[in-house]
């Protein structure tokens, strides 16, 4: 008798997350440009932990009381009142090792909160820099998985979809997948995986980051697999390496 495989589904927007049963699932929070890439980078470079919060005020209050670094962005720029932003390249070993980062972002933080509100069993974060760590973990856990795309202010975006597709292309033999979102994610990834960086100028978020703020090196980092290959797991309000 064939053993029943766990299911894998892809959710294209935080505003659709309530449609999925998260209570026995691992939710992979995906915000490729740039929150989850920054989270992987900071933890890989030795950050003690990352505390995601929803407002700049909370980021400042918590970082002050903990002696931590407050960081975040709004609409792609360092949030007013903060000294550090949401670029994965800001968090070198020299700067972040041994420190706690309190982070607030436009989309990733919101999705994480929605996953908590919908009683997700386990929450991890995924991005190209930690692609293999995510795939290894979900295969090993053998539980249902929801790939949650943060999108842009609840709208669909392509970069999170491409990462979902990258995961699917690597783990699909281990899961039951009957989900049109996953079909499209996998298809888009397989169409562009040999040259994500050249495809990127077609994405709306690329224009927001590159044309407006010149963040071309961020884009390159965020589309390169396995350069910060750790698994951020959300436990008790903090993201820690599993």
Sequence-distant (≥ 6) Cβ neighbours of residue 177 within 8 angstroms: 7, 8, 9, 168, 183
Beta carbon of residue 44, minimum distance to its own copies (angstroms, whole number): 28
| Closer residue to its own copies, CB minimum distance, 140 or 178 | 178
Q: Is 224 in the site for its own copies (CB under 8 A)?
A: no
Binders in 186-205 for its own copies, by CB under 8 A: 187-188, 191, 202-205
How far is it, in rounded angstroms, from Cα 206 to Cα 184?
20
Contacts of 47 (CB under 8 A, 6+ apart): 91, 96, 97, 98, 99, 100, 101
Q: Rounded CA gap, 227 and 212, in Å?
A: 26
Confirm if 104 and 19 have CB atoms less than 8 A apart.
no
180 lies in the site for its own copies, by CB under 8 A: yes
Burial (0-12, 13-18, 19+ Cβ within 10 Å), 205: buried
Nearer to its own copies by C-beta: 156 or 213? Answer: 156
Residue 15-44 contact track with its own copies, rule CB under 8 A, x = bound: xx--x-------------------------
- 12 touching its own copies, by CB under 8 A: yes
Q: Which stretch binds its own copies (CB under 8 A): 36-44, 50-58, 118-126, 178-186?
A: 178-186
Residue number with CB closer to its own copies (38 or 182): 182
Piece of 11-19, 106-114, 122-130, 220-228 that binds its own copies (CB under 8 A):
11-19
Helices and strands per DSSP (H, E), number in the chain: 11, 10
CB of 234 to its own copies, least distance (A): 25
């Amino acid at each position: 008798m064939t053993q029943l495989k766990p299911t894998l589904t892809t959710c294209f927007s935080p505003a659709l997350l309530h449609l999925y049963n998260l209570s026995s699932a691992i939710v992979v929070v995906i915000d490729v440009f740039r929150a989850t890439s920054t989270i992987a980078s900071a933890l890989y470079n030795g950050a003690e932990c990352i505390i995601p919060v929803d407002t700049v005020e909370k980021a400042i209050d918590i970082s002050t009381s903990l002696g931590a670094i407050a960081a975040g962005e709004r609409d792609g720029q360092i949030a007013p009142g903060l000294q550090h932003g949401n670029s994965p390249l800001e968090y070198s070993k020299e700067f972040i090792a041994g420190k706690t980062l309190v982070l607030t972002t436009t989309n990733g933080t919101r999705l994480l909160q929605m996953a908590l509100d919908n009683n997700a069993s386990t929450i991890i974060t995924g991005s190209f820099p930690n692609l293999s760590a995510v795939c290894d973990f979900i295969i090993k856990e053998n539980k249902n998985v929801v790939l949650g795309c943060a999108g842009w202010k609840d709208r669909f975006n392509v970069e999170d979809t491409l990462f979902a597709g990258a995961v699917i292309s690597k783990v699909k033999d281990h899961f039951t997948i009957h989900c049109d979102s996953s079909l499209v994610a996998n298809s888009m990834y397989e169409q562009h995986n040999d040259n994500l960086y050249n495809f990127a100028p077609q994405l709306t978020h690329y224009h927001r980051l590159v044309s407006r703020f010149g963040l071309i090196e961020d884009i390159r980092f965020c589309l390169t697999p396995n350069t910060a290959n750790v698994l951020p797991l959300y436990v008790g309000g903090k993201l820690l390496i599993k």
